[in-house]
Amino acid sequence: MHKEIIRREEVNDEHLPATLHPIIRQIYARRGVENKEQLELTASHLCPVDTLLGLPQACEILHQALQAQKNITVIGDFDADGATSTALMMEALQMLGSTNHHFLVPNRFKYGYGLTPEIVDIAAAQGAQVLVTVDNGISCIAGVKRAKALGLQVVVTDHHLPGAETPPADAIVNPNQRGCNFASKSLAGVGVAFYFMLALRKYLREQDWFEQQQIKEPNIAQLLDLVALGTVADVVSLDANNRILVEQGLKRIRAGATRPGIQALIEIAGKNQQKLVASDFGFALGPRINAAGRLDDMAFGINCLLARDLSTARVMAADLDDLNKARREIEQGMQREAEQVLASLAFSEDNLPHGISLFHGDWHQGVIGIVAGRLKEKYHRPSIVFAKANDDDSTSFASDDVEIGNDEIKGSARSIPGLHIRDLLEYIDSQHPGIILKFGGHAMAAGLSIPISKFDKFSALFEQYAEQWLSKEALTGVLLSDGQLITSDMTLGFAQQLREAGPWGQNFPEPLFDDVFTIVQQRIVGEKHLKLVVEKDQQIFDAIAFNVDIKRWPDHQTKQVKLAYRLDINEFRGKQSVQLMVEQLD
- Give the single-character DSSP code of 378: H
Judge if 295 and 400 occupy the same domain.
no
Residue 382, Ramachandran bin (φ over 0: left; ψ between -120 and 50: alpha; else beta): beta
What is the model's pTM?
A: 0.88
Residue 225 has a CB neighbour count (10 Å cut-off) of: 25
Judge if 191 and 130 occupy the same domain.
yes
Contact between 447 and 415 (Cβ < 8 Å): no
Q: Residue-wise over 191-206: b if at least 16 C-beta within 10 A, else e?
A: bbbbbbbbbbbbbbee
Domain membership flag for residue 77: yes
Residue 407 has a CB neighbour count (10 Å cut-off) of: 14
Question: Checking DSSP bridges between strand 445-451 and strand 438-441, what pairing results, if any?
Answer: antiparallel
Domain membership flag for residue 333: no
Q: Which domain holds residue 163?
A: 46-317
3-class DSSP state for residue 412?
strand
Judge if 357 and 236 occupy the same domain.
no
Domain membership flag for residue 220: yes
151: exposed, middle or buried (C-beta count within 10 Å: 0-12, 13-18, 19+)? exposed
Domain membership flag for residue 374: yes
Domain membership flag for residue 331: no
Judge if 529 and 411 occupy the same domain.
no
Judge if 426 and 465 occupy the same domain.
yes
In 80-188, alpha helices (H): 80-95, 117-125, 141-149
Q: What is the CATH number of the domain that holds 92?
A: 3.90.1640.30
Integer Cα distance of 495 and 567 in angstroms: 6
pLDDT tens, position by position, for the chain (586 residues)?
688 899 999 999 999 999 999 999 999 999 999 999 999 999 999 999 999 999 999 999 999 999 999 999 999 988 999 999 999 999 999 999 999 999 999 877 677 778 999 999 999 999 999 999 999 999 999 999 999 999 999 999 999 989 889 999 999 999 999 999 999 999 999 999 999 999 999 999 999 999 999 999 999 999 999 999 999 999 899 999 999 999 999 999 999 999 999 999 999 999 999 999 999 999 999 999 998 888 888 899 999 999 999 999 999 999 999 999 998 898 889 888 888 887 777 666 667 889 999 999 889 888 898 899 988 988 899 999 999 985 443 222 222 332 334 589 999 999 998 899 989 999 999 999 999 998 877 788 888 999 999 999 999 999 999 999 998 888 888 899 999 999 999 999 999 999 999 999 989 999 999 999 999 999 999 888 999 999 999 999 999 999 898 889 999 999 999 999 999 999 887 889 999 999 999 8
Judge if 313 and 410 occupy the same domain.
no
3-class DSSP state for residue 404?
coil
Looking at the DSSP bridge assignments, the partners of residue 495 are none
Contact between 225 and 249 (Cβ < 8 Å): yes
Q: How far is CA 186 from CA 158, 175, 506, in A?
A: 11, 8, 10
Judge if 275 and 399 occupy the same domain.
no
Integer Cα distance of 555 and 100 in angstroms: 64
Integer Cα distance of 585 and 45 in angstroms: 40
Domain membership flag for residue 37: no
Question: Domain ends where: 274, 300, 317?
Answer: 317
pLDDT at 390: 59
Contact between 155 and 131 (Cβ < 8 Å): yes
Integer Cα distance of 568 and 543 in angstroms: 10
3-state SS, 222-241, equals HHHHHHHHHHHHCCCCCCHH
* Residue closest to 411 by CA, chosen among 467, 360, 345: 360
* Residue closest to 564 by CA, chosen among 492, 532, 519, 516: 516
Integer Cα distance of 383 and 444 in angstroms: 10
Judge if 462 and 523 occupy the same domain.
no
Integer distance in angstroms from the first to the last C-alpha of the chain?
A: 12
Question: Domain ends where: 317, 333, 356?
Answer: 317
Residues 6+ apart with CB under 8 A from 16: 25, 28, 29, 33, 35, 36, 39
Contact between 397 and 352 (Cβ < 8 Å): no
Domain membership flag for residue 180: yes
Judge if 56 and 104 occupy the same domain.
yes
Question: Domain ends where: 418, 440, 469?
Answer: 469
Judge if 214 and 253 occupy the same domain.
yes
Domain membership flag for residue 335: no
CA 184 to chain centre: 17
Cα dihedral value 184, 185, 187, 192, nearest 10 = 90
Contact between 583 and 564 (Cβ < 8 Å): yes
- What is the number of structural domains in the chain? 3
Q: What is the CATH number of the domain that holds 551?
A: 2.40.50.460
Integer Cα distance of 277 and 287 in angstroms: 15
Phi (first) and psi of residue 533, to 5 degrees:
-120, 120
Phi (first) and psi of residue 4, to 5 degrees:
-80, 130
Judge if 309 and 441 occupy the same domain.
no
Judge if 465 and 510 occupy the same domain.
no
Q: What is the CATH number of the domain that holds 459?
A: 3.10.310.30
pLDDT at 406: 57
Q: Please, what is the angle between helix 286-295 and helix 224-233, to 10°?
A: 70
